[in-house]
Amino acid sequence: MTGRLFKKFGQNGTFVLWAAAILLLWEAGAWFIEDIAQLTAPASKLPYIHRVLSSLVEHFPTMIKQGAVTFGNSITGFVIGSAIGFALAILMSLSRTVENTLSPYMIASQMIPIIGLAPIIYGIIHDAALSRVLMAGYVTFFPVTINALRGIKSIKQEQLELMRSYAASTWTLYLKLKLKSALPGLFAGLKLSAPLAITASIIVELMGAPDGIGVLMVSSLYYGTAQVYMFWSTVLISMAIGLLLYLIITLLERWMTPWQPEFRSKGRDET
Task: Please give the tally of structural domains in the chain.
Answer: 2
* 96 and 7 share one domain: no
* 149 and 41 share one domain: no
* 211 and 223 share one domain: yes
Is 262 within 8 Å of 191 (Cβ atoms)?
no
In a domain, 168, yes or no: yes
Is 236 within 8 Å of 56 (Cβ atoms)?
yes
User: 55-114, pLDDT tens digit by residue?
Assistant: 889 989 999 999 999 999 999 999 999 999 999 999 998 888 999 999 999 999 888 888
Q: How far apart are the first and last CA of the chain?
A: 5
pLDDT of residue 38: 66
* 212 and 176 share one domain: yes
pLDDT confidence bin for 179, thresholds 50/70/90: confident
pLDDT of residue 20: 83
* 41 and 127 share one domain: no
In a domain, 269, yes or no: no
> Which residues are CB-neighbours of 157 under 8 A, at least 6 positions away?
none
pLDDT confidence bin for 169, thresholds 50/70/90: confident
CATH number, position 248:
1.10.3720.10
* 52 and 36 share one domain: no
* 115 and 3 share one domain: no
Task: Give burial (CB, 10 Å; 0-12/13-18/19+) of 77.
Answer: buried
Long-range residue pairs from 47-51, CB within 8 A, at least 24 positions apart, any chain: 47/228, 47/229, 47/232, 49/23, 51/229
In a domain, 268, yes or no: no
User: 212-251, pLDDT tens digit by residue?
Assistant: 999 988 888 777 666 788 888 999 899 999 999 999 999 9
In a domain, 271, yes or no: no
* 10 and 105 share one domain: no
* 194 and 104 share one domain: yes
Is 237 within 8 Å of 70 (Cβ atoms)?
no
Q: Is the pTM of this model over 0.85?
A: no
* 38 and 148 share one domain: no
d(CA 123, CA 265): 52
Q: Say what percent of the chain tops pLDDT 70.
A: 87
